[in-house]
Amino acid sequence: MNTLDPGKEIKSRKKAGDIIFENITLLFALILVGLVVYIAIEMFLDSSESRSKFGFGFIFSQNWDPVKEDFGALPFIFGTIVSSLLALLISLPVSIGVAVFLSEIIHKSLRTSISFLIEILAAIPSIIYGFWGIFVFAPFMRSTVQPFLSTYFGFLPFFKGQIYGTGLLTASIILAIMITPIISSITRDVLKAIPVSQREAAYALGATKWEAIKMALLNARSGILGGSVLGLGRAIGETMAVTMVIGNKAQIKDSLFEPAYSMASVIANEFAEASGSLHISSLIEIGLILFGVTFIINSLARILIYSVTRKA
């Protein structure tokens, strides 16, 4: 060690500490990434029995018979897709309205408290939505909403048949309530990223407030699309609330009043009590499909959202 050059020694000592610290944080960051990869691999391996037995037919088969050990995921895929798309359909216009209300209409002094209330909606545990769904919302659907729909829109195949209260429609509306805060907060963020000067220019041209807002919304559309896709991903993976109100019956029916089943719900209901290894393996394969779909959807959503908010 060269004692005549203390500066050099300090420099090298500093460097060692920095390198160690950076690499420790890097290690933990890589653990995070590795975890996601590990989840995918683990589920792929654990579903091998079901994958080799049923192949791609698993996705298209409607049979779900633990006794005969014949499994197919179609009714669950159907239930998940219909309930979450319907939830998005209900939630999207409302969410955009909420975002516009919060960013353009409401007075500043009230904005924080109202947006806090809406954000709390996203933080309520899904088990409480489900519980409330069983005891308050499903009875309300049975006594009021569904009779109304079947009286006035009963000519449509979606609103026909026996009224149970629980079922596809009830699950969709609960999901819509749950994803509205997510979509509206992303929409607010992307609206913020649209320069105010654009709106000012619209006003200068004589646009009304709504026309200016509409222009901002059109310019923010890819970000709003991203928020919608994110909400869709949340709805697809939502488990407890859906399990409690969707009716849990593996069937594909036209009517939204009918009970259905979702991918996450069948895992929640049957996994702990699954009888044979093929049953468990099939449930894990459903989980693998769910993981793959939500992974792709979330990646897409993030790319869309980054593309708008980065510009700001």
Partner 1 sequence: MTSASIIKNPSNLRSRKIINSVMLTMCILAAVITIIPLLYIFFYTTQSGISSLNVDFFTQLPKPVGEEGGGMANAIVGSAILIGIGALIGIPVGILSGIYISEYSKTFVSTIVKFITDVLSGVPSIIVGIFAYGVIVIPMQRFSALAGGFALGILMIPTITKITEEMLKLVPQSLREASLALGVSRWKTTLKIVLKTASSGIVTGVLLAIARAAGETAPLLFTSFGNSFWQTSLDEPMAALPLQIFVYAISPYDDWHRQAWAGAFVLIFLVFVVNLLVRIVTRNKFSGNL
| Residues numbered 136-175 forming contacts with partner 1, rule: CB under 8 A | 136
Q: Closer CB to partner 1, residue 28 or residue 56? A: 28
The CB density around residue 283, as the number of other CB atoms within 10 Å, is 25
The one segment of 70-78, 147-155, 160-168, 264-272 that binds partner 1 by CB under 8 A: 264-272
Distance in Å, CB of 256 to partner 1, minimum: 19
36 near partner 1 (CB under 8 A): yes
CA distance 185 to 96: 9
**299 lies in the site for partner 1, by CB under 8 A:** yes
Nearest CA-CA partner of 227 in 120, 307, 121: 307
Q: Per CB under 8 A, does 268 bind partner 1? A: yes
Within 10 angstroms of residue 144's Cβ, the number of other Cβ atoms is 10
- Name which of residues 233 to 262 contact partner 1 (CB under 8 A): 233-234, 236-240, 244
Beta carbon of residue 215, minimum distance to partner 1 (angstroms, whole number): 5
Question: Shortest distance, CB of residue 65 to partner 1, whole angstroms?
Answer: 21
Q: Does 9 bind partner 1 (CB under 8 A)?
A: no
Options 192, 214, 252, 278; binder of partner 1; rule CB under 8 A:
214
Q: With beta carbons less than 8 A apart as the criterion, state whether 241 and 175 touch.
A: yes
Q: How far is the CB of 148 from partner 1 (least distance, A)?
A: 16
Judged on CB neighbours under 10 Å (0-12, 13-18, 19+), 145 is middle
What distances in angstroms separate CA 12 from CA 6, 7, 26, 55, 121, one per listed residue?
A: 10, 9, 21, 58, 52
Residues 52-91 that bind partner 1 (CB under 8 A): none
Interaction between residue 107 and partner 1 (CB under 8 A):
no
Q: Report the residue from 5, 9, 35, 311 that binds partner 1 according to the rule CB under 8 A.
A: 35
Q: Residue 95 carries which DSSP code?
A: H
CB of 160 to partner 1, least distance (A): 26
Instruction: Please report whether residue 42 would count as binding partner 1 according to CB under 8 A.
Output: yes
Question: Residue from 43, 59, 145, 193 that binds partner 1 (CB under 8 A)?
Answer: 43
Q: How far is the CB of 152 from partner 1 (least distance, A)?
A: 20
Going by the DSSP 8-state scheme, the letter that residue 212 receives in this structure is H
Determine, following the binding rule CB under 8 A, whether residue 94 of this chain makes contact with partner 1: yes
Closest listed residue to residue 103, CA positions, set 179, 182, 186: 186
Altogether, the residues listed in the chain come to a count of 312
Burial class (CB in 10 A: 0-12, 13-18, 19+), 7: exposed
What is the nearest approach in angstroms of partner 1 to the Cβ of residue 252?
22
The reply to whether 132 sits near partner 1 by the rule CB under 8 A is: yes
Spatial distance between the Cα atoms of 306 and 298, rounded to a whole number of angstroms: 12
Contact indicator for 259, 242 with CB cutoff of 8 Å: no
Contact call for residue 100 and partner 1 (CB under 8 A)? yes
Q: Contact between 134 and partner 1 (CB under 8 A)?
A: yes
